[in-house]
Chain A
Amino acid sequence: MRENYRLVFSQCRRMLGVTEDAQDVSQAVFVKAWQAWEGFEGNEAQRRAWLMRITRNATVDAARKRNLRRMASLDVMLEERTAQVLSSPDFEGDAILARLHAAVSTLPPKQRWVFQARYFDDRTYAELSAETGTSEGGLKASYHHARKKIESILLQEAQTLFH
């Protein structure tokens, strides 16, 4: 259970950026899982796949709601979210990694999910396709666009710094 919680929380943390939001969503996912766990028929791998699926749905929904609540310019969002990540007590990465998380947070939720699953978790398209029911081609397109967008943000940043 601890290992699964860690897995769920990491995904929520990367998808939502804010520790409190990630804790709330992880908690909601686990309460749902806990209540249904006994009635779930399947092996451990199937249970984990199911847990990951409800985590994905919950984080994508939460990210959508968060996007609706907050409309700001890209520059402002990047500054705010980089500062948020850097000031989080549970973040031990450097400023570049914080900027990457901030850039990821500006992506549409589904692209964000595909990007973090591929980039951080190194999951295969086949695995993601089986989990989401989306074609591998569709997932590749999402990842491709997410990567281009992030590259463009980080390049702009570098050009501003070294101009």
Chain B
Amino acid sequence: MGQRDDGFRVSDATIEAAIAGVISQPHVRRWPRRLSALYMAAAVALVLGMGAALNEVLKPETCVTFACQLDTLSDEELAGMMDLMEDEASLGLEEEVWPTLY
């Protein structure tokens, strides 16, 4: 990597200071290995119960907006659409629409 010079230089001092900052952070406490089976079962049941209840209450919304439809497009579909839009350059839409694609 680093095939082309991007002009940016990172000094060793900057790296050292940043790493010192990282190392001073505490490690994440892991879950204790011996969780009681009862506690685990209760937690799983609670989560499943809440999930089922939410599933009943929340129905998926229909995708009707342009932004929502864009989100569901695959990269290939998006690229195809962008090419079509470019062909329609006379409409002058590119500048307005292109930056909103992502």
Contact = CB atoms under 8 A, between A and B. Distances in A.
Interface of A is mostly: helix
A40 interface: no
B102 A27 contact: no
Contact of A7 (B1, B8, B82): B1
B32 to A, nearest CB: 14
Interface residues of B, number: 33
A44 B16 CA distance: 21
Nearest to B4: A120
B65 interface: no
Contact of B79 (A23, A27, A138): A138
A6 interface: yes
A111 B102 CA distance: 9
A29 B53 CA distance: 36
A23 B19 CA distance: 11
Interface stretch (B20-28, B41-49, B55-63): B20-28
A135 B76 CA distance: 8
B101 interface: yes
B33 interface: no
Contact of B6 (A7, A23, A93, A141): A93
B34 interface: no
Interface string A120-146: 111100000000001101110110010
A75 interface: no
Interface of A: 1-2, 5-7, 9-10, 13-14, 23, 26-27, 30-31, 34-36, 38-39, 85, 88, 90-94, 97-98, 101, 108-111, 119-123, 134-135, 137-139, 141-142, 145, 149
